[in-house]
Amino acid sequence: MIDSLFYIFASLMLISALAMVLNKNAVNSAMCMIVALVSTAGLFVLLEAYFLAILQVLVYAGAVMVLFLFIIMLLDVDKEENYEYLNHKFAFIARLLGFSLLFFLVFNSFSETHLPSTELVQITNEGEAGTIAFSNTAKSFGQILFTKYMFPFQVIGFLLLVAMIGVIVISKKQTTETEK
């Protein structure tokens, strides 16, 4: 039963992520991203990481995606029919960089030397670091998130900032010479 739920959530996540990238309508892409985030939360539930599942739904599918939808709807992204940003001079470089990053991530996902360690580090009051068994408490997640995984946490925050700036740049209205 759990295996079939895993395949359902994983396929739903992959299909909605692919639809998010390939969809030309920004609102529909945001809705597909919400489906992908909720299905990721379902995978967290299957891993018995209930705290991460609730955070995934509340923070990402809730707050961040509502913010993206408000930005998309307030700036009227779909009013402009011609997408001139696709013909921009840096569009080819951005596509090349994106595909090379995707290739790098897929290649490293299947190599055994780059797999993360499965042990958590507990920071005690005396400043000693020792290994502890996995625990799915909020304190354990907080300690590991702000010690061992602080850099990836900051990178994710930066990527969300870049995504918001990208939505604003894409949706910026182009002024013509007659309007000036």
**Whole-angstrom distance, CA of residue 48 vs CA of residue 33:** 23
> What is residue 178's predicted lDDT score, i.e. its pLDDT?
55
The one-digit pLDDT tens for each residue of the chain (180 residues) are 888 999 999 999 999 999 988 887 878 888 898 899 999 999 999 988 888 888 888 888 788 777 777 777 776 655 555 556 556 777 778 888 888 988 888 887 777 665 556 665 555 554 445 555 556 677 777 777 778 888 888 888 888 888 888 877 776 766 555 555
Question: Which residues make beta-bridge pairs with 147?
Answer: none
Beta strand 120-123 pairing with 129-132: antiparallel
> What is residue 39's predicted lDDT score, i.e. its pLDDT?
94
The CATH number for 2-115+149-171, chosen from 3.40.50.1860, 1.10.10.10, 1.10.3720.10, 1.20.120.1200, is 1.20.120.1200
**Whole-angstrom distance, CA of residue 147 vs CA of residue 119:** 13
What's the token pair of residue 145?
A: 């998130």
**Whole-angstrom distance, CA of residue 46 vs CA of residue 140:** 19
> What is residue 92's predicted lDDT score, i.e. its pLDDT?
79
Q: Which residues of 102-111 are buried (b: 16+ CB within 10 A; e: fewer)?
A: eeeeeeeeee
Q: Name the burial class of residue 101, with classes exposed (0-12), middle (13-18) and buried (19+) by CB atoms within 10 angstroms of its CB.
A: exposed
Q: Is the dihedral of CA 45, 46, 52, 58 positive or negative?
A: negative
> What is residue 154's predicted lDDT score, i.e. its pLDDT?
86
> What is residue 127's predicted lDDT score, i.e. its pLDDT?
47
Q: Is the dihedral of CA 6, 7, 8, 14 positive or negative?
A: positive
Q: Which residues of 87-100 are buried (b: 16+ CB within 10 A; e: fewer)?
A: eeeeeeeeeeeeee
Among candidates 87, 94, 109, 58, which has minimal Cα distance to 174? 87
What Rg value do the Cα atoms of the chain yield, rounded? 20
* Segments making up each domain of the chain, as ranges: 2-115+149-171
